[in-house]
Amino acid sequence: MNILLLGSGGREHALAWKMEQSPLCKKLWIAPGNAGTQLCGTNVELNINDFDAVASFMVAHHIDMLVVGPEEPLVNGIADFVLQNPSTSHVQVIGPSAKGALLEGSKQFAKEFMQKYNIPTAAYRSFTAESYEEGVDFLETLASPYVLKADGLAAGKGVAIVQSLDGAIDVLKGMLKDKAFGKASEKVVIEEFLEGVEVSVFVATDGKNWILLPEAKDYKRIGEGDTGPNTGGMGAVSPVSFADTEFMEKVKTRIVQPTIDGLQKENIPYTGFIFVGLMNVNGDPYVIEYNVRMGDPETEAIIPRISSDFVQMLKLMGEGNLNNYTLEVCPEFAVTVMLVSGGYPGSYEKGHEISGLDHIDGSHVFYAGASERDEKVVTSGGRVVAITSLHSSLEKARLQSMKNAAIIKFHQVNFRTDIGLDLQG
């Protein structure tokens, strides 16, 4: 098959690395890709939100399968566009319809969906500028901390967790009245705070059949010991010790099956991934959020654990025959450590040369914000490189990733050394 993968992060490098190994993959293109995806296929300069350009490229290069990495094109309707366009309607699209992508694209839609299908999640109400005063009244009935979420996509920044009531009212005002996130915060969901530990669960589905990929824990805060501001993710571990058979059984029966059933009842076609962000509240799973794509950096931890053919899985998803796939997973622990630019998640510099990439032994290196310039690899984003190590001992996997992370150098490189420490014995 000729495959086009959209995206340019560490997630896409891990996906490209895995897909390229499949005997089913004839030619792999990545748009726009990064310095790492270029090692697995051919990068192509395309604006992934320009659907006409994507479709023309697919026709010209006889693409059989389109794999959509990030959420934005999905929320903008790329799957519908490709499948409804006669020149590309034969392409297998891995990624849901715009309607399905609302699970991530609108917090209110996701909340209503969960409520309708009895899927456990935090209690909530949603408000607009017109109902701002009611929002303030509602906040006054809640206990601290307060959770406020912009309804739409806000590049991962639309969630505020605030300790004081005054602070929460300020955030509500900022979002609704001062349009802090533009259109994305015209509606705001205020919800109950859930106390617990988070885990990311990944469902691959053809809309009817589904399988669970390995779960992972993401480390979102910039600082050691989960301190400081939130980031896109500073590392990940898979598997997750507390996600044991009993917990995962609850996840399947209370969350995954009702989600797939709900999509079918709503007549929402869904070929792709559902990433369920869960809170483990005293052994019971609650949905924090749905995403309609794989996670980053979770993908960099999960993909190296999958030993079966990933393109075969995608193909069966596209054909509606995922029930014929046998997923094989390596039982070892994967520890992924993200090397980030100094200053991230605030402002940071780009364009600094990255050294040491060729001196890594015994770990996978997935490039994220790293691009090629004059035959050198330079930083081009906040999250720069992910290092993943596998070992039957979680601690040894962590130490291996630390050892190799220390070999990679660029201006003001920063990484967390405690990824996975909390999950040990």
**What are the residues binding ligand AMP (CB under 6 A)?**
122, 147, 149, 159, 161, 191, 193-194, 198, 220, 277, 288-289
Of ligand AMP, ligand GLY, none, which one does residue 258 interact with (CB within 5 to 8 Å by kind)? none
DSSP state of 329: B
Q: Is 295 in the site for ligand GLY (CB under 6 A)?
A: yes
Structure tokens at 238: 């898979």
Q: Is 300 in the site for ligand GLY (CB under 6 A)?
A: no
Burial environment of residue 254 by CB neighbours within 10 A (0 to 12, 13 to 18, 19 or more): middle
Query: Cβ 218 to ligand GLY, closest distance in Å?
Result: 4
Of ligand AMP, ligand GLY, none, which one does residue 194 interact with (CB within 5 to 8 Å by kind)? ligand AMP
User: Phi/psi at 287 (nearest 5 deg)?
Assistant: -80, 125
Query: Cβ 336 to ligand GLY, closest distance in Å?
Result: 11
How many Cβ atoms from other residues are within 10 Å of residue 122's Cβ? 18
Of ligand GLY, ligand AMP, none, which one does residue 298 interact with (CB within 5 to 8 Å by kind)? ligand GLY
Q: Are 132 and 177 in contact (CB under 8 A)?
A: yes
Residue placing its CB nearer to ligand AMP in the complex, 232 or 381 = 232
Please choose, out of 145-153, 249-257, 294-302, 356-364, the segment that lies near ligand GLY by the rule CB under 6 A: 294-302
Q: Is 218 in the site for ligand GLY (CB under 6 A)?
A: yes
Residue placing its CB nearer to ligand GLY in the complex, 33 or 70 = 70
Q: 């949905």: which residue's tokens? A: 287
Of ligand GLY, ligand AMP, none, which one does residue 122 interact with (CB within 5 to 8 Å by kind)? ligand AMP
Helix H segments across 253-378? 257-265, 298-302, 310-319
Query: Please, which residues have CB within 8 angstroms of residue 166's CB and are 6 or more apart in sequence?
Result: none
48-67 residues near ligand GLY, rule: CB under 6 A: none
Among residues 206, 296, 300, 309, the one that binds ligand GLY under rule CB under 6 A: 296
Residue placing its CB nearer to ligand AMP in the complex, 58 or 287 = 287
Query: Please, which residues have CB within 8 angstroms of residue 202's CB and are 6 or more apart in sequence?
Result: 212, 213, 214, 215, 216, 273, 274, 275, 276, 294, 295, 298, 302
DSSP state of 421: G
Binding footprint of ligand GLY on the chain (CB under 6 A): 218, 233, 291, 295-296, 298
